[in-house]
Amino acid sequence: MHTADGGTVQGQVDDVQDVDHDEGFPQIPDPEDGVRWLAPSDVEQHLYRLTRRDDTYACLRTLAAEGVYYPVWREDADAAGEDEFPMFSRERDDGLYVPVYTEGLLPRPHPRTVFEFANLARLARIVPDAAVCLMVNPGTPCQLLLAVDEEERGAWYDLGCDLFDPDYFSDRLLARRSGSGVPDVGPLLHGLACGAHLCYGNGDPWNTLHWHGAGFRNEIERLSGSWGVESRADWLETQERLLTRRVSPWYWDFVLAARDGLLPAARGVVEEAAWRDTVEATLRERVRRRGGDHQPGADAELDAFVVELRGLVGKIMRYEARFRADGLLPPGGIVRTVAAWDVGRASKMARWGRGARYATEPEMYEAIERAGAGARAAYHSWEEFSAGYVLGRCLHFDEGEFGSWYTTVLEAHRALVTDPDSPWRTVPFLGAAVRGR
């Protein structure tokens, strides 16, 4: 379902102080008569209209396409095996009630509960046999009660198989319209906006701090599979390396900085040969100052590295030419730094770490704000930030092919600079006055 640009997991936030609170489950009162409810997302707004009409089948079709999240006690989630699916439930006089929620209504993460994701077909198989009622979005204006019996389970399963498409969740712009998890305009919201490329690609809401991602278990697997992060210590190290821009190779910005030094004398247009020669001369001078054999032919490893960096100049120029042709850069525009590649991923790493419960809430907040500060220190606009991010992604993955690693992020860029709900149309790129706070 989601991508990242089991059992008890050691080193999660279990022995580290986290923020306790009373928001384990959502509680949203019905709107007053004559007042239109502003739901967090289109899904809840649609369900609200359908529940007012008692259109249960249409509600089921919506849930089948979207999937749901079910709460689990944290200790049960940690102890569960790969094929075990514990669920929080409520015992009432007439039997067992199991609550589930759509994504927009998920509450602020709580130290003692987590939320797992399931499509409706999976839900039909894992809801406890003793359950008599499925409570969809209980305690909210779009609450729906569904009986649990073999006929209902069969309907859930069939609809889930027919309507659930994991690809539906990718390549879309989502924003929360309401809810306490959406911060006001400022450094924290700016830091969230730095992760917009990945939010678009994964179909995640970009502006919420109530992060559950793809569900607790899936967030753990995401970090393990895509990043090799399997513990709190791993997350802390990776988050810091991203924030200090030590994940991407240092020499990408080294090559870009060499051109920057030539720009004033070149009146804005640096010839490729001059840029290549400057890269080589600067690198060999750096080696000389450190006491190394810097002359051509003296060190085969250094000579090979020089060849690589001289070739990188041409690769960057080809990407920039394509960027200009595709409107990602303005005419004559260049990329001065790929800082956005690490900074943008740092914004999402903070949320992924929270979803896997490797990060405390204050740690997530701090990391997101630091990501925003890093972006403001390196760039002057969202468009400039985006070009740096795209170049970093291409240098990392694309190998000069202009394949899907480029075309998919180009699509994200175009949506983010044009859609009225985009963070880059709604969140100002904060200026020097905010930087100094």
Cα(261)–Cα(151) distance, integer angstroms? 71
Cα(244)–Cα(207) distance, integer angstroms? 23
C-alpha 248: how far from its chain's center? 18
> Quick one: tokens of 61?
């079709």
Task: Give the model's pLDDT for residue 7.
Answer: 34
Q: Tell me the DSSP string of 270-337.
A: --HHHHHHHHHHHHHHHHHHTT---STTT-HHHHHHHHHHHHHHHHHHHHHHHHHHTTSS-TT-----
What's the residue count for the chain? Answer: 437
Residue 338, Ramachandran bin (φ over 0: left; ψ between -120 and 50: alpha; else beta): alpha
- Which helix (H) or strand (E) segment holds residue 73: the answer is strand 68-73
Task: Give the model's pLDDT for residue 243.
Answer: 98
Report residues of the chain scoring pLDDT below 70: 1-16, 430-437
Q: At what angle do helices 404-418 and 382-393 cross, to 10 degrees?
A: 170
Please tell me what DSSP assigns to residue 138: T
Residue 423 identity = P
**Biggest alpha carbon–alpha carbon distance for the chain:** 85
Task: Give the model's pLDDT for residue 431.
Answer: 47
Task: Give the model's pLDDT for residue 6.
Answer: 34
Please tell me whether residue 21 adopts helix, strand or coil conformation: coil
Task: Give the model's pLDDT for residue 432.
Answer: 35
- Give domain limits for the chain: 42-169, 187-248+339-435, 250-325
Task: Give the model's pLDDT for residue 10.
Answer: 44
- Of 396, 241, 400, the C-alpha closest to 314 is 400
- Of 68, 128, 140, the C-alpha closest to 98 is 128
Task: Give the model's pLDDT for residue 180.
Answer: 78
β-strands 90-92, 113-118: how paired? unpaired
CA angle 207, 72, 122 (to 5 degrees): 85
Contacts of 409 (CB under 8 A, 6+ apart): 197, 201, 389, 390, 393, 394
Whether 333 and 324 have beta carbons less than 8 Å apart is answered as yes
Q: What is the pLDDT of residues 236-293, one digit of tens each?
A: 999 999 999 999 999 999 999 999 999 988 877 899 999 999 999 999 999 999 998 8
Whether 96 and 132 have beta carbons less than 8 Å apart is answered as yes
Task: Give the model's pLDDT for residue 24.
Answer: 82
For the purposes of burial, counting CB atoms within 10 Å of the CB of 150, is it exposed (0-12), middle (13-18) or buried (19 or more)? exposed
Please tell me what DSSP assigns to residue 30: P
- Of 126, 113, 198, 195, the C-alpha closest to 156 is 126
- Strand locations in 336-404, DSSP E? none
Cα(390)–Cα(395) distance, integer angstroms? 9
Task: Give the model's pLDDT for residue 8.
Answer: 34
CA distances 260 to 61, 129, 265, 267, 283, Å, are 55, 66, 10, 11, 15
